[in-house]
Structure 1
Amino acid sequence: MRVLMISKACVTASYRSKIAYMHQMADMEMGLVVPDHWANLPFEPDSADEAYPIYKLPIPFNGKNHFHWYPKLTRIIRDFKPDLVHIDEEHYSFVTWQGVRAARKLGVPSLFFTWQNIYKRYPLPFSAIEQDVFRGTRGAIAGNQDAEQVLRKKGYTKPVTVVPQFGTDLALFGPRDRQALRRQYNFGQSFVVGYVGRLIEDKGIGDLLASIRPVLQKNSDVGLLIVGTGPYDAQIRDWADGNGLAKQVTRLPWVSSDAMGDVMNLMDVLVLPSRTTARWKEQFGRVLTEAMASHDVVIGSDSGEIPNVIGDAGLVFPEGDVPQLTEAIRRVLQDDALRATLAQRGAERVRDHFTQEAIAAKTCAFYRDLLGGMA
């Protein structure tokens, strides 16, 4: 089976490992259409790139999620001769419409990918694009369960599978010598609670600070590690100073992707306290699987897809419930057996469901279903 994928996200080398795994399967031949850069991100070369055709193109409206498109796309589809075109973009984006129309013109079935887990009505021309994409595709991949429900509510009746867009790379994330890393990064605490992500209200930063304050005040050997940037930067600093906790709070504004595996191993617990708003709820929570792969215990709110990602491998609390989050942190801190059990479950859950290999296998299985078992 020959599949041509169209994906701006794949300018990042680590994301392309999924395609490399797919191409290695006995019945699969992959090709990729990708921008020569996306916004300020250059195309990152990788040694696996030579295994399958990659069409790197300069594109109009580069960096514009819903407006960019690919010149010569019809010619590329014609030359590659795919059995299926996988458009790794939302159903209301111009590039998805372009890909569906080009594939349809050449008699090639297509599918799209969506993260959109909140029902929204779009203005013209996006509503018209959405409906034509619905008519013209053979199926869809939803990144989370709510996204599948949104498609059904919008009247999409064709096959949909729920598979995240990308998996966790176990070459980057896995257990390491925590104590050696803490010495390297000058961590004095024996137990570290961490957060990784944007420092914005939607991510529940205020809830995290309120919930962990009594834990830090009672336990001087507990630390808080916050990785990311955003509007809460100054507030976090003021909060730490005002509560006499500055020595227990560490801020890392930016960490390279190569170093993130080390950062995850500085933590014992990762907290993702996201809050649902009228226009957003957690679509997946990639840091959860990265933390679980690193044998961290994960604690998350019940916003969006978080409970489905965590499963029985962590603790889930009602979003916005500060006392329950405090209690969850205390449980993990005080119960060594619980901590060990959840860490092991998390690592196993990632291996079974969320590695790049697992995501590649599930995606290819859906391809075969769409094409009637074709190999």
Structure 2
Amino acid sequence: MSERRLKILSIAHPAVEAAAGRLRYHPFLGRPDLDVHLLAPRRWHQFGRTIEADPPGDPGVTMHILPIWFGRGGPMSWYLHIYPGMRRLIREIEPDVIHLWEEPWSFVALQAKVLKGDAALMLEVDQNILKRLPPPFESIRRHVLRNTDHILSRSPDATAVVRACGYAGTVGEVGYGVDFATFGPRQAAQRTPGLRLGYVGRLVVEKGLDDALDALARAPADVTLAIMGEGPHEASLRRKIAELRLDGRVSLRGWSSPAGVADFIRSLDALILLTRTTAVVKEQFGRVIIEAQSCGVPVIGSTCGAIPAVTADGGWIVPEQDPPALAALIERLRDDPALLDAAADAGRANVARRFTYDAVAGQLADGWISAFRNRRPA
């Protein structure tokens, strides 16, 4: 590799928000071997929200905010967008590596592959269920993967998917990071009687909240559940809460800011993530797991996807769709708070060891260097 600084163009729609997708780039500030540019959309639509890009000024990167086309494309909207200004930007930067925090079947991945010139191409993948995509997405995926020089994978299952779709190159691991300034530990306080459980996320049937309610109905009356989120399953959950006569033990509230989410998590004794595996759903990571652990709150997770590996010793794993097993665990934790304290300590150690932004930045840098070394001729 040349001694000059390696020029990187990272393309990532999550970087539309400074407090979310950009934080992992901050550790590149002052790094002498990398010149990192980050491209994000001027406006992004997801889960019914319209997000306007935060202004540039983040450390560690040169930020580029450009308009996109096809940002509202129905159920495939995340995969249809392209940047009309990408060709000009690539000519200006002349990157050595183009990195996409996007799936390989997306139009923007195809656009980058077509316009990349001599740059190496690296993709960061999350998809962990192998399924044949409808035209033209399956053809795009296989074409892009054949022309990719390095993959960063969120899980072994995600690696297996790209291998099955024709990718034969090198693979590295990449996780998510935690913003410790926001998701910091709670102050020591005297524990109150009972057990306060909580959930943060979309309200969809696949997240297993019905199992949590069934378990709660079996648990002692001083065990409660607080839910933060929005989604199409909310009305059904409210009906079930009423049917099980849990009105006084279950609360629901809408989304909050990251600081509000952190305050909510710190009010809990344990966080639950009980995702159910289906033909189209398998938990890819579970970022709320490491946010909770960073706050000093242990996690009760299901066996779905990456949940056990991410949780590690910072919580407990129960079988999917098994309310009796969950109820038994809940009662054990209620009766022995020392178990909660031990898992909280293990969870903080898990995050400090594996999920800092410095760790993620190191994984990104290793991937970029590998992609540059492995790049094929234009």
TM-score, normalised via structure 1 length:
0.90
Matches within 5 A, 1:153-192: 153-164=164-175, 166-177=176-187, 191-192=195-196
Q: Which moved more, 1:259-268 or 1:317-326?
A: 317-326
- Asked if 1:108 is matched to 2:114, the reply is no
CA 1:26–1:326 in structure 2 vs 1: closer, same or farther (change >3 Å)? farther
Q: State the shift of 1:147 in Å.
A: 0.6
What is the percentage of aligned positions where both structures have the same residue? 34
1:283-327, Cα deviation, whole Å (9 max, x unpaired): 111111111111111010011111111122211111111111112
> Match of 1:272?
273
> Match of 1:212?
216
C-alpha separation in 1, matches of 2:217 and 2:365: 46
Matches within 5 A, 1:8-157: 8-14=13-19, 15-39=21-45, 40-45=50-55, 47-48=57-58, 52-63=61-72, 64-103=77-116, 106-157=117-168
Structure 2 alignment gaps of length 5 or more: 1-5
TM-score, normalised via structure 2 length:
0.89
Corresponding residue SS for 1:167: coil
Deviation beyond 6 Å, 4+ runs, structure 1:
none
> Match of 1:352?
353
1:195-239, Cα deviation, whole Å (9 max, x unpaired): 111121100011111112222xx243x321111122332343344
Q: Which moved more, 1:321-330 or 1:234-243?
A: 234-243
> Match of 1:185?
none
> Match of 1:343?
344
Q: Which moved more, 1:18-27 or 1:80-89?
A: 18-27
C-alpha separation in 2, matches of 1:332 and 1:364: 41
CA 1:336–1:189 in structure 2 vs 1: closer, same or farther (change >3 Å)? closer
CA 1:352–1:62 in structure 2 vs 1: closer, same or farther (change >3 Å)? same
Q: State the shift of 1:155 in Å.
A: 2.4
C-alpha separation in 1, matches of 2:208 and 2:30: 41
Contact 1:178 1:265 survives alignment (8 Å): no
Q: Which has the higher helix share?
A: 1
CA RMSD after TM alignment: 2.2
Corresponding residue SS for 2:58: helix
C-alpha separation in 1, matches of 2:235 and 2:114: 48
1:161-207, Cα deviation, whole Å (9 max, x unpaired): 2213x311111102123759x9xxxxx86531111111211000111
1:51-86, Cα deviation, whole Å (9 max, x unpaired): 532221111112421111111312211211222110
CA 1:123–1:245 in structure 2 vs 1: closer, same or farther (change >3 Å)? closer
CA 1:75–1:234 in structure 2 vs 1: closer, same or farther (change >3 Å)? closer
